[in-house]
Amino acid sequence: MTTTSAVDRAPLTYGQLSVRRVMTDWPLDRWPETYLSTVIPVPPDCTHTQVTAVLHTLCARHESLRTRFVDQEQYVMPVPDRVDVAVVERPGAGRAEAEAAGRERASRPIDREREFARRFTVVTDGGRPAYAVIVVDHIVADGYGLARLRTEAAALMGAEDPDGKRLLDETPAQPRDLARHQRSAAQRPRREAALGYWRDLLRTLPEGLFPVSDEAGHHPGRIEAVLHSPGARSALGTAAHRLGVPPQAVLLALTSLATAAVTGTERVVHTLQSSNRFTTPWRTIVSSMNQYVPLPLEPGAAPFERYARRVHGAALKAYRCGTYDLDAVTELVRAERGIALGFDHFFNFMAHDVPTDAQDACGPRRIEATTPYRQIGPRLDVKVRGGPDMPLVVRADPGLLPQPGLHALLAWYDDELHRLAADGPKATTTDELLGRCRSTLPSEARS
């Protein structure tokens, strides 16, 4: 770990640069929609002073929490003498109420250039600390980085967690070291390969399909619904095991068919989110590593088994090109297409706990309408979360997919996963899946 006793300036990492550029034209009042948050339960014997000390330790260990982001540079500041922690009294609050209280404090946009891009809140019950809430601008950390902060904080408060102890024993990598590594001569082949991937996309995909204009996602009004289905989770694992591909590939293949049905196209270009956490020492860094990676797919008429394997191979290739200089790519797109680069049709799979060994999980499916944090951005956004009911979240522009169509689409996911597990993916074709999806959607949801 590089240490600092004075302000140290370094370039932005490629992940930090992507966050900065993607949000450049977003309305400032909507920035808090993109902030990430996590909640850490405070043990009964832990005092407010101790919780504050834990948060100070996190700032000392991870430079992202004490960095200001100015233009295309990160200004790493010395470890502060103290950290600002808001205290909010919420008698009887649970995790959700505590998180809402923490996010409320971050409802005002953070000025990345003049303040640290995070907020700490202690939620009390009768004056006793009940929860610590960490809210970060996405430029500080992605979901993986935030998970590390949560795990370390819990361990520092006394939680018996082997992962927490292991992480605290590590000397964490720092973003400014990563930024210099990414721009080093040794990484030049990787940079050229990533730019070559984008050149191939521009060469082989028509203008109407790729890329979308950056203005496509600037209109507010997104709607959202979530499928909760333990049976679908079990069925996904069964289908993945039979196909010999990860669960993510099965659901991505299904999502490409759903997207084709919703948009009325034969070819789709998804936006994957590459974690870029493939090599040490950057695997567990607290920073924003995610970058968008386009993935073109053309289902055609094929056995689903063959198509799912093709999707898996194409996704692996895309992920390998997920670390890139967004400014260089943006210039390339502007030169080739004459537009500002935008992204759509997002797919983000986070359910890495889906078991692939045969097991039965019962329970009725539940589809609920929810209110998304983010009201602008991609027109179609599919996110799959971990947990026993594998929440499958679809956020959409109602002009593309109205509310009835949104709920029908989630029911289709559940039905098809159960069908793939029961009938076997080898007996199903992409045409059959696509046809059932189109017939399921209300007429106003079919492009």
pLDDT digits (tens, 9 = 90+) for 25-83: 788 888 998 899 999 999 999 999 999 999 999 999 999 999 999 989 999 999 999 99
Q: What six digits make up the tokens of 276?
A: 């870029």
Q: Does residue 3 belong to any structural domain of this protein? A: no
pLDDT digits (tens, 9 = 90+) for 390-415: 999 999 999 999 999 999 999 999 99
- The three-state DSSP-derived secondary structure of 426-445 is HHCEHHHHHHHHHHHCCHHH
- Total count of domains within the chain: 2
Strand partners of residue 431: none
Amino acid at 379: R
Residues 31 and 112 both lie in one domain: yes
Phi/psi-derived region of residue 69, left when phi > 0, alpha when psi is between -120 and 50, beta in every other case: beta
- Give the integer Cα–Cα distance in Å for 182 and 129: 41
Question: What DSSP designation does 45 have?
Answer: T
Look at residue 446 in the predicted model and tell me its pLDDT.
55
Q: Closest Cα to residue 259, out of 54, 430, 107, 130?
A: 430
Strand partners of residue 268: 297
Q: Residue 126: is its pLDDT beyond 90?
A: yes
- Give the integer Cα–Cα distance in Å for 85 and 54: 11
- Give the integer Cα–Cα distance in Å for 253 and 231: 19
Q: What is the mean pLDDT of the chain?
A: 93
For position 419, which CATH number holds? 3.30.559.30
What are the Cα distances from residue 29, in Å, to 21, 220, 375, 418?
Answer: 17, 12, 11, 42
> Are 421 and 304 in contact, with CB atoms under 8 Å apart?
no
Residues 422 and 357 both lie in one domain: yes
For position 30, which CATH number holds? 3.30.559.10
Look at residue 24 in the predicted model and tell me its pLDDT.
83
pLDDT digits (tens, 9 = 90+) for 326-338: 999 999 999 999 9
Confidence of residue 361 (pLDDT cuts 50, 70, 90): low
Residues 437 and 357 both lie in one domain: yes
Phi and psi dihedrals of 381, rounded to 5? -135, 115
By residue range, what is the domain housing residue 388? Answer: 184-445
Phi/psi-derived region of residue 10, left when phi > 0, alpha when psi is between -120 and 50, beta in every other case: beta
Q: What is the pTM of this model?
A: 0.89
3-state SS, residue 201: helix
**In sequence order, what are the residues at sequence separation of 6 or more whose Cβ sits closer than 8 angstroms to the Cβ of residue 321?**
193, 194, 197, 198, 293
- Give the integer Cα–Cα distance in Å for 172 and 283: 10
Place of tokens 């891009």: 117
Q: Does residue 1 belong to any structural domain of this protein? A: no
Residues 74 and 49 both lie in one domain: yes
